[in-house]
């Protein structure tokens, strides 16, 4: 009985057609197609998210300490400023300083809005002559900035570490179209995971 089973197995194996060249090509084409059908949509979705919805970036420098630290990683949320409203005072924003793609991004806090007159005395900010109440933590420094009005479609930005920040006091108000989005979520390092304020 065992011999008959073995013989029939051998017969079945011998009766199967051997894989030929066109069969291998067909299998390879199908494998490539399945991989492409998975990878191409995934890459397209990732690009759409990166361009229109959110983007990850890294904080470089000490200008936002003690609230954000160098090498901290944050997610920039892009939807709000595109569809709901412009930057608001207190928002931490990421700025592309010019139209040149290769330049480093800046991360700063919005302090002055279009049409407002801003002044800095002994590190304290005044808007329309009134001292600005800043509920976030600031290292004020001793800087001065004479009164100037923020032009339309611009914002005045400053670092929270005022004595060590290159910001609108140096390069002037920032056009709103250079604001990429709002720093929304810190995700690295683990001890700083949470919403950015």
8 is catalytic: no
Examine residue 42 and state whether it is found in any structural domain, yes or no.
no
User: Which residue from 168, 178, 192 is spatially nearest to 70, judged by alpha carbons?
Assistant: 192
- Residue-range definition of the domain harbouring residue 69: 56-195
Q: List the catalytic residue out of 108, 165, 168, 186.
A: 108
Q: List the catalytic residue out of 63, 165, 168, 186.
A: 63
| The model's pTM | 0.72
Burial class of residue 27 (count of CB atoms within 10 Å of its CB; 0-12, 13-18, 19+)? exposed
Examine residue 34 and state whether it is found in any structural domain, yes or no.
no
Task: Give the Cα separation of 74 and 186 in Å (integer).
Answer: 4
168 is catalytic: no
CATH of the domain at 97: 2.10.109.10
Examine residue 17 and state whether it is found in any structural domain, yes or no.
no
* Tens digits of residue pLDDT in 141-192: 888 889 999 999 999 999 999 888 889 998 999 999 999 899 888 888 888 8
Q: What are phi and psi of 131, to 5 degrees?
A: -65, 130
């Amino acid at each position: 009985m065992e011999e008959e089973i073995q013989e029939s197995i051998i017969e079945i194996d011998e009766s199967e057609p051997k894989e030929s060249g066109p069969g291998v090509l067909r299998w390879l084409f199908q494998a490539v197609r399945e991989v492409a059908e998975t990878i191409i949509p995934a890459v397209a979705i990732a690009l759409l998210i990166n361009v229109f919805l959110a983007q990850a970036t890294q904080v470089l420098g000490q200008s936002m300490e003690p609230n954000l630290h160098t090498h901290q990683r944050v997610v920039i949320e892009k939807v709000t400023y595109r569809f709901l409203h412009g930057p608001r005072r207190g928002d931490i924003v990421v700025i592309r300083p010019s139209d040149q793609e290769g330049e480093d991004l800046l991360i700063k806090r919005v302090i002055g809005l279009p049409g407002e007159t801003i002044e800095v005395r002994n590190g304290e900010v005044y808007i329309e002559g009134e001292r600005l109440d800043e509920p976030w933590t600031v290292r004020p420094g001793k800087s001065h900035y004479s009164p100037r009005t923020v032009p339309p479609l611009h914002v005045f930005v400053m670092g929270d570490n005022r004595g060590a920040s290159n910001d609108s006091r140096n390069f002037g108000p920032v056009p709103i179209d250079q604001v990429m989005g709002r720093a929304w979520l810190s995700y690295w390092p683990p001890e700083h995971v949470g919403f950015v304020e």
